[in-house]
Chain A
Amino acid sequence: QVQLQQEPGPGLVKPSQTLSVTCTVSGGSIRSGSWYWSWIRQRPGKGLEWIGYIYSSGTASYNPSLKTRVSISADTTKNQFSLRLTSVTAADTAMYFCARENRDSGIIWFDPWGQGTLVTVSS
């Protein structure tokens, strides 16, 4: 059974700096199959926002609203994938979740999810 464990994050990031969060996958390889490995965030008291994914081939795709600041990468030796968000502002304060995404035949769903990493942007 695949499980996603998010590494303890920075917690607090200063404005204009870079946010980095990592997710470790167990019970399956991020290199195999047709799974996509995604990041989703939830601002305080708000709904969910899809950030982007990295595919098992290494191809990544991002939410157009964040595209200029975001990158998702994978470390296959550690079976991890990571999110980097540059030039952060207070609006990037959120709980960041990693999730396995299914896109088979255009059918999209997310399961399972990581436990979440809270990142606060403040000076």
Chain B
Amino acid sequence: QSVLTQPPSVSAAPGEKVTISCSGSSSNVENHFVSWYQQLPGTAPRLLIYEDNKRTSGIPERFSASKSATSATLVISGLQTGDEADYYCGTWDYSLSVVVFGGGTKLTVL
């Protein structure tokens, strides 16, 4: 059971928009910056977003993120088949003194 809760799966058609939520608590998401990672099949995770909403170099504007209280959200617009991957959120948890990740969300582009 992951400390951060993500939906196991989401799906949408090419060109549409999808949102992936990451729910935590005051000991993690609410008081620490969240990062987001994309893991394409058979590859290592790749940093997409850091400091809640900053895109890392080379990540298109189609990827955006936000945070409100204990919940963070990743939004992918203009979906492409190449976006099919697992997406993870991560942050620090000060009560556990450990970096925590969500369980991951599998994105299917129909």
Contact = CB atoms under 8 A, between A and B. Distances in A.
Nearest to A105: B33
Contacts of A49: 101
A113 B45 contact: yes
Nearest to A97: B44
Interface of B: 2, 32-33, 35, 37, 43-47, 50-51, 56, 88, 90-92, 96-104
Contact of B98 (A50, A111, A113, A114): A50
B50 A107 contact: yes
B98 A108 contact: no
A102 B91 CA distance: 12
Contacts of A116: 44
24 contacts: A47-B2, A47-B88, A47-B103, A48-B90, A49-B101, A50-B99, A50-B100, A63-B98, A64-B97, A97-B44, A102-B50, A106-B32, A108-B32, A108-B35, A109-B33, A109-B50, A109-B90, A110-B37, A112-B46, A112-B47, A113-B45, A113-B46, A114-B44, A115-B43
A107 B97 contact: no
Interface of A: 46-50, 63-65, 97, 102, 106-116
A47 B91 contact: no
A64 B98 contact: yes
A110 B47 contact: yes
Given A108-B32, A110-B35, A48 B101 contact: yes
A102 B100 CA distance: 15
A109 B33 CA distance: 9
